[in-house]
Structure 1
């Protein structure tokens, strides 16, 4: 379902915006530098963004469409990044009784907490790696 949402948001945004927003952003050197870093490793950046359990899908879909990211990279990165999140959600749903027990006894169920923290750390680390400017060697 998210693949359809990615496609629709991308199509509608590009039709309405027509790259005006990207043209506006290109006037800012810092933003241009960030967008260039993202474009160099676009698929990996999208993957780490979609991996994050705290970034909303709709917002990232919209931002990627505005930034001019390639639709195939958004779809593939979105799909690959959603797999771990989806598996965690399914597993958590199957553990509903355990979650109730966790709510009643907050010191138990550390595996779920650790998995969510790991997803956040990996996602933030990956996003920051591709956002920060790279030093060129001479």
Structure 2
């Protein structure tokens, strides 16, 4: 089916809008790119270190484990380590006893991630949409308003999803205007299932090398992954439909 002039015009306007937003929000775009790339590289390096010093890590005392979780707050906030990586590693060495410490570290990392995004963006993204000439940002503003009206449920669904990276959500959700209280509370609720799952998964591993390099591929882990993915997808679709219906009503 050939493109009509109206379709071409709509695509051109959309591309121009994205270009304008990227140009006027360079710092937020760079931060998002950082959060997407750095975790993969950094976690690979840390994996090599953990494999080389596995016996030493197994001898950690209480102070050393305390320092480990304190440092992980900052590495997760700055995207040097994915939350999944920390949960797996903690579960392997400490089992389910690591759960309260991983959850606490996650909460602190979420707070620092939110504040970092607020420092970099500080409402600039939403303001640039408001300042777009000719009302080009009206639909985007309506969409962001819908997110803010449904932020608690959306945050939970975004955090439950095993495929939406923690670090990137630390950028996109604050930029969209979600409040800190909802970001922390709903985020913690949403992360609980996947965090506990990966801690448990780490505890089931017999060898650190197998866990870090190959992962677990048993039926139970695959089933839980699929369940979390379906649940989060259905939830995000539900809230997305609510946002669209609200915009159409207006």
TM-score normalised per structure 1: 0.81
Structure number with bigger Rg = 2
Partners of 2:159 and 2:190 within 8 A in 1: yes
TM-score normalised per structure 2: 0.47
CA deviations on 1:65-111 (whole Å, 9 max, x unpaired) are 211110000000110011101111122112224xx6xx8xx7xx322
Partners of 1:45 and 1:126 within 8 A in 2: yes
Q: How does 1:1-138 map to 2 (within 5 A)?
A: 1-26=105-130, 27=132, 28-97=137-206, 109-132=218-241, 133-134=244-245
Aligned residues: 130
The secondary structure found in structure 2 opposite 1:15 is helix
Partners of 1:47 and 1:78 within 8 A in 2: yes
Partners of 1:53 and 1:85 within 8 A in 2: yes
CA RMSD, Structure 1 to Structure 2 (Å): 2.3
Q: RCO higher in 1 or 2 (8 Å CA, sep ≥ 6)? A: 1
Structure 2 gaps, min length 5: 1-104
Partners of 2:117 and 2:170 within 8 A in 1: no
